[in-house]
Amino acid sequence: MRRGLSVHRRRVLVIAPDTDEANLPKKAIEISAIQRYHEATILRGTVRDQDIAASIVENDFEIIWFIAHSNNDGVLLSDGILDTTALIQYVKADSTSLCILNSCDSEEVAIQIASQSGADVICTIDQVDNKDALRLGQLLAGELAYCETYREAYELIASPDSKYRYYEARGQYRSYRSEHDDELLRMIYRMDSDIRILRWSVWVILAIVALEGFFIWQLLSMH
């Protein structure tokens, strides 16, 4: 434990289903890390839509954390796909303020959740190797306990060029969507991520230039 730092034991619903398609190896390690730092309710093994509904009705979760497979339609449970509409319903039904999609290619789902609920979302933008997903899950569990904000925890462990992204809730509650709306949302979120990467790159370049200038000054002062 880090001495002198307060620990935030957050209320977390962990959803880690086994599926016919594939099971994620070593996900028990990520689950153990979450349990170590937080008050976690674990849905693992056979997990169906109604199991999630029952947990959310009976409890009040700050974070919903998926360790699963996903695609552009939603998250894969033991009995099939939990679509994006259902995911948004679950996030909005509780006092959830963060949704973690530790699953491959979850950006499209994340954008919809972030834009139509009050929750921030951590997601992937590409296929992620199991060991990379496991590492991020373990580190994120710890940093969420010690950091004041979700974004601070995320930025401590995810480099700007990683396959993970953090999308802040936009608070846009819409009863309808069009393809044009969705494409505009994707552009806004991706521009925000690109700006952050650019800002980080500029600081790196400035630091390199400053170091080079210092060394040149040192060389000149020696002559």
Domain count, the chain: 2
Same domain, 171 and 195: no
What pLDDT is stored for residue 15 in this prediction? 96
What pLDDT is stored for residue 176 in this prediction? 33
Answer with the one of 136, 160, 175 that is the final residue of a domain: 175
Which structural domain, as residue segments, surrounds residue 124? 11-175
Residue 6 lies in a domain: no
What pLDDT is stored for residue 191 in this prediction? 66
What is the torsional sign of CA 43, 48, 51, 52? positive
Residue 3 lies in a domain: no
Same domain, 182 and 171: no
Q: Where are the alpha helices (DSSP H) in the chain?
A: 27-37, 49-58, 84-93, 107-116, 130-146, 150-157, 179-222
Same domain, 42 and 152: yes
Same domain, 99 and 114: yes
Same domain, 214 and 164: no
User: How many Å separate Cα 196 from the centre of its chain?
Assistant: 16
Give φ, ψ of 63 to 5 degrees.
-130, 135
What pLDDT is stored for residue 30 in this prediction? 93
Residue 5 lies in a domain: no
What pLDDT is stored for residue 3 in this prediction? 46
Same domain, 27 and 61: yes
Same domain, 94 and 144: yes
Residue 186 lies in a domain: yes
Same domain, 161 and 195: no
Identify the segments of the chain with pLDDT beneath 50: 1, 3, 171-180
Beta carbons of 84 and 31 less than 8 angstroms apart = no
* Strand arrangement of the beta sheet that strand 80-83 belongs to: 70-71, 74-77, 80-83
Same domain, 155 and 72: yes
Same domain, 161 and 222: no
Same domain, 69 and 155: yes
